[in-house]
Structure formats: C-alpha cells, structure tokens
Structure 1
C-alpha cells in the first residue's frame, strides 16, 4: 500500500469589513482572525503549506511558514469563488435588489449564479484540479492548505460525490480545520474525513 497523505484544510479567520459576500474581495484579517488561525494550528507540524493568494489566507500562511522555516506555495486553485456583482454586498442588500436571487442560487448554483460571477462548474473544476495536483507525488506527507469556506464545501462535494446544494448545509466557520486522509492501495483512492473542527 502507498503511504497515506494527510491534508488539513484551514479556513481563514475573521476578515475586516464585517459579514458580506467576500469572494475575491481582498480584505485583511482582524486581530481575532489571526488568533483563530493560530489557535487551530497549535503545535501542528506539516511537510508543506499551500494557500490561496488572497490576503486573509496568505498573510497567516506566510507568517506561519516563516516561523516553521517552511516554503509557502501560493496556488490560485484555492481562491474563493468570485461572486461577481454580489462582491461586497450583504444578503440584505442583495435581497433589496433581487428578492429571490439568493434562494435560487442556493437551490441551484449552476442554473442561477450571481450576475457576472465565476460559474459554479468552473469553480468546482478549479477546486478538483487543485485537489488532484495536491495529491500528486505527496505519498506519506502531511499538508496544510489555507483557504476559504466555499472551497472546502466544493471539496466535500467532490470527495464524497454529493450535489453542490448539499455541501451548502456544511457549516465552515472562521478558523475551521478539516482533515482528510487519502489512501491508495493500487486499486484506487479512498478518502476518509478524520475531523471537521470549528475554530
């Protein structure tokens, strides 16, 4: 059996600006956000750290790698979905202009994406490609990926073959740490969820 790969996904901590649709909007972390991420990482040891290029992920990952003397790999595949015209808007603001838009999106993100947004199929494919690239030539390693809630949900949908709408039922709070272990016995890949721990 090929040695298993352990992959930890850390959602970024609280970001400045409050609660709104923050996809590619590049807000920095709050002090609380930094604490949430450090608290989850604790004494964790990883062979490699990979992160989204957005500041709320990259700033912590860079600081962590400097402390641990690790090289940081910045990978666009792990960016959050681009919400298009919803970027920077709260649910209430979106509802004022388009009362049924949010409900339609969560019921069918493929058919009813936000205006001018990255399409959900393209987003999901990007995450799948990132996942496959992550697992290549990494046997026996323990990896940390610093990323976003939407990415982690899309990964759940891919790994466990669930509809995208079902993945929206998974809460991924700020600083949440999720671990998958991947086994390959030569007959195919088996992925196990080890834990999904809120910050």
Structure 2
C-alpha cells in the first residue's frame, strides 16, 4: 500500500545575540523570533512534534505542544552543525582570523571544516539517520520538526541528491517552513517538495 507521510520542517525564529555562526551556541529566541514562529504555524495541525534540543527550537516547540495538547519529542539528530572555533563569530571576524576559510567552506563543505568543528559528513549522517527514523516511526502521519537552516539544507542534499555546495543557494530565513511528502510503498520511496515558505 502506498503510504504518504507529511513532514514540515520549521526553522527557528530570530535568536538573541545578532548575526553570527551559532551552530550549537544555545541562544534563546527574541520576542520577534517567537512571533515569527507563531505566525508561520498559524492553524497548523500535526500528529507529532519533534524538536532540536537547542533552546531556539525547543522553547517554542514545548509551548506549542502544551497549547495543542501534543507530546514533544526531543531529537539530537535535528541539532545544527557544530561550527567549532567559529561558534559565536561573525563572518567578518572569521574572515579576519581565517582568511579565505569561509569561501572554502561554502565551496566544498564536505572536505573543509572549521577548526574543531563537527565534520560535514558526520553531520549529514546524523541528519540522514534522523530522517529514516522519523519516517519509520511516523509513517502516515503529519509531523512538525522544529530545527535549523543547516539541517534543512542537508535534507535537500539527501532527499534530492543535490551537491552539498548547491544547497547554500537555498534561502532559509528565520521561521521558514518547508514541507516534504514522502510516498512509500514498502519497496521504494518518492519524496516531493510541496512548498518552501519564508517566515
């Protein structure tokens, strides 16, 4: 039987601290960030909600689940990539300390990692496993995953076999909502992008 699973990936809203590389840096949402996420979710109805453990995702997901009387699952697989020594650094600071490093990362993230960072291959592996686990556990359901820009880009690469560097051309503003539908018949899988809606 062909079974469809609808998965909505919501990037977190604006976080405190301004614009810098905040992979695992655990900043809370700004008031604007909360509003962005509420506005994006609207009257959305899901059977299950899963969140990254980082506060900028988890805090909203917990409140939303309480209001909707849903149980929240926290999954480390949906955490952002760890930028290592780039954590908390702006693009200008990184370019000053590591000239040409940002360009190298964006051109070939699979072979260039920031100092002391999580490798892209390890990051992609855990996102891939999170995706497979989600589809196995929530087959036939509508699922909301509250997560990060890097995770959603990694899914584009995984699901549509895109070159990783090309995924950086996908705009993922705060509270962007991306919907995939996975059709499974037991032997094969077809995944469709339904929409990619900026916040």
TM category (shorter chain) comes to: over 0.9
Query: Using the alignment, how far apart are the partners of 1:99 and 1:139 within structure 2?
Result: 46
Match of 2:109 in 1: 109
- Partner Cα separation in structure 1 for residue 81 and residue 24 of structure 2: 7
Give the TM-score of the pair, scaled to structure 2. 0.98
Aligned: 1:13 with 2:13:
yes
Distance 2:74 2:189 in 1: 26
Structure 1-normalised TM-score?
0.98
- What's the offset of the Cα at 1:163? 1.1
Q: How does 1:10-49 map to 2 (within 5 A)?
A: 10-49=10-49
How big is each residue's C-alpha offset from its partner over 1:27-60, in whole Å with a ceiling of 9 and x where there is no partner? 0000000000000000000000000000000000
Aligned to 1:175: 175
What SS does structure 2 have at the residue aligned with 1:196? strand
Q: After superposition, give the CA deviation of every residue in 1:85-136 in whole Å (9 maximum; x if it has no partner).
A: 0000000000111110000000111221100000000000010000000000
Match of 1:150 in 2: 150
Partners of 1:14 and 1:194 in 2: how far apart?
24
Decide whether the 8 Å contact of 1:2 with 1:139 is kept in 2. Answer: no
Unaligned 5+ runs, structure 1: none
**Aligned-partner Cα distance in 2 for 1:15–1:187:** 42
Residue number in structure 2 paired with 1:79? 79
SS in 1 for 2:88: coil
- When the two chains are superposed, the root-mean-square deviation of aligned CA atoms in Å is 0.7
Name the counterpart of 2:197: 197
Q: Which deviations, in whole Å up to 9, do the C-alpha atoms of 1:5-30 show, x marking residues without a partner?
A: 00000000000000000000000000
Distance 2:35 2:66 in 1: 17
Partner Cα distance (1:139, 1:171) in 2: 28
Give the secondary structure class of the aligned counterpart of 1:136.
helix
Give the gaps of 5 or more residues in structure 2: none
Measured in 2, the distance between the counterparts of 1:137 and 1:51 equals 15
Partner of 1:168: helix, strand, or coil?
A: helix
Paired with 2:127 and 2:167, the residues of 1 have a C-alpha distance of 14
User: How many aligned positions are there?
Assistant: 199
* Distance (whole Å) between structure 2 residues aligned to residue 137 and residue 154 of structure 1: 20
Report the Cα distance in structure 2 between the residues aligned to 1:138 and 1:52, rounded to whole angstroms: 17
* Contact map agreement 1:23 1:81 (CA 8 A) in 2: yes
Aligned to 1:53: 53
